[in-house]
């Protein structure tokens, strides 16, 4: 999908993270925008804005765990997420 002022949205996914212990839910959107310069402009223009009463936190994505078949796969030898333990992750 082309952007209004140049660039392309190549892929968009939503990730829902449920913390089973606390009942808290997070929704993360992953958007691939090309070229890199346009992606940086999109990040700067959206970070801190409000959407439906929620403040957006927009930043460049960093891979922390691998997703395989919609399930979290931890690095070899690691038995649990070091940041939070009991999570259910779904991708749409």
Give 36-83 as a DSSP string. HHHHHHHHHHHTT-EETTEE---------SEEETTEEEPPTT--S-SS
Evaluate if residue 1 carries a pLDDT over 70: no
Evaluate if residue 24 carries a pLDDT over 60: yes
Higher pLDDT, 3 or 47: 47
Strand partners, 88: 18
Phi, psi of 19 (to 5 degrees): -85, 105
CB 74 within 8 A of CB 1: no
Q: What is the mean pLDDT of residues 71-92?
A: 68
Domain ranges within the chain, ordered by starting residue: 8-91
Q: For the whole model, what pTM was predicted? A: 0.62
Strand partners, 11: 32
């Amino acid at each position: 999908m082309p952007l209004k002022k140049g660039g392309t949205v190549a892929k968009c996914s939503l990730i829902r993270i449920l913390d089973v212990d606390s009942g808290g839910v997070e929704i993360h959107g992953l958007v691939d925008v090309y070229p890199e310069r346009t992606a940086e402009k999109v990040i700067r223009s959206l970070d801190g804005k409000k959407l439906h009463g929620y403040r957006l936190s927009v930043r460049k994505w960093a891979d922390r765990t691998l997703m395989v078949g919609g399930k979290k796969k931890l690095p070899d030898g690691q038995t649990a997420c070091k940041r939070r333990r009991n999570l259910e992750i779904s991708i749409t």
